[in-house]
Structure 1
Amino acid sequence: MEYISSRNFALELPGSSGAQPRSLSGWVLSWASVPPLTSWCGPLTSQAEGAGVFQQPPWHHQQVRTGKRGTEYQPKNIKRKRTHGWIKRISTQGGIEVILRRMLKGRKSLSH
């Protein structure tokens, strides 16, 4: 049996012979020399027209669905008036400064 050992684990490789441990990098390098599988449909890819279609798995081009978009902003007039309205602006020191800045700039609308 052949083992891949690292600091905290050892993995037994099926079909390997010998009792000598083998490093993980040596095992990875031995698998790097194996040619990759290029076709999913066997002999059709080399002989049929449009063989490039079969080079990738069919789920590679499938649409990925996510959650609905564009539903983040739902305006509420009550919230707008309570946050940016005249009464809220006048009631705090920061709000008064906002109104004064808008007056100096010449805005027609000072608040909501």
Structure 2
Amino acid sequence: MALPNLLSGLLSRASWVAPSVFGHFRPLLSSVPSANISTTSVLANIRCHFPRPSEIKRVRRHGWKKRMSTLAGRKIIMNRILKGRFVLSH
């Protein structure tokens, strides 16, 4: 099937609209039943994406003792000194 025939077949359907700015076809909202669309259930759902921060864990992972205990940590401290950072670690 040739490309112009395919496009004319798509454009002749009642459930399709003209291509958008990006060239994609999208269905009309009138063809979708409105009973299935509910925004209240989505808006009322409260999600927690991460646990509350713990200062003890932060200091143990990113603190001065942890940085100075490894070679890579000492390189991080030296890079922060050379860059002129006021705070070197937690």
User: What is the percentage of aligned positions where both structures have the same residue?
Assistant: 41
Distance 1:91 1:58, change over 3 A: same
Query: Which residue does the alignment assign to 1:83?
Result: 61
Tell which structure's C-alpha radius of gyration is larger. 1
**Following superposition of structure 1 onto structure 2, how do residues 11-30 of structure 1 map, counting pairs within 5 Å?**
none
Distance 1:76 1:62, change over 3 A: same
Distance 1:55 1:102, change over 3 A: closer
1:57 to 10, 25, 33: 33
* Distance in 1, Cα, partners of 2:32 & 2:75: 62
Residues 73-112 of structure 1 deviation map (CA, whole Å, 9 limit, x = unaligned)? 4211011000000000001000000000000000000000
Distance 1:104 1:56, change over 3 A: closer
Please identify which structure carries the higher helix content: 2
Matched pairs, number: 59
* Distance in 2, Cα, partners of 1:108 & 1:99: 11
> What's the TM-score once normalised by structure 1's chain length?
0.44
Residues 36-77 of structure 1 deviation map (CA, whole Å, 9 limit, x = unaligned)? xxxxxxxxxxxxxxxxxx975342232343853344242110
> What's the TM-score once normalised by structure 2's chain length?
0.53
**Following superposition of structure 1 onto structure 2, how do residues 1-112 of structure 1 map, counting pairs within 5 Å?**
56-63=32-39, 64-65=41-42, 67-112=45-90
Q: Which runs of 4+ in 1 moved over 6 A?
A: none
RMSD: 2.5
Q: Unaligned 5+ residue runs, structure 2?
A: 1-29
Distance 1:97 1:59, change over 3 A: same
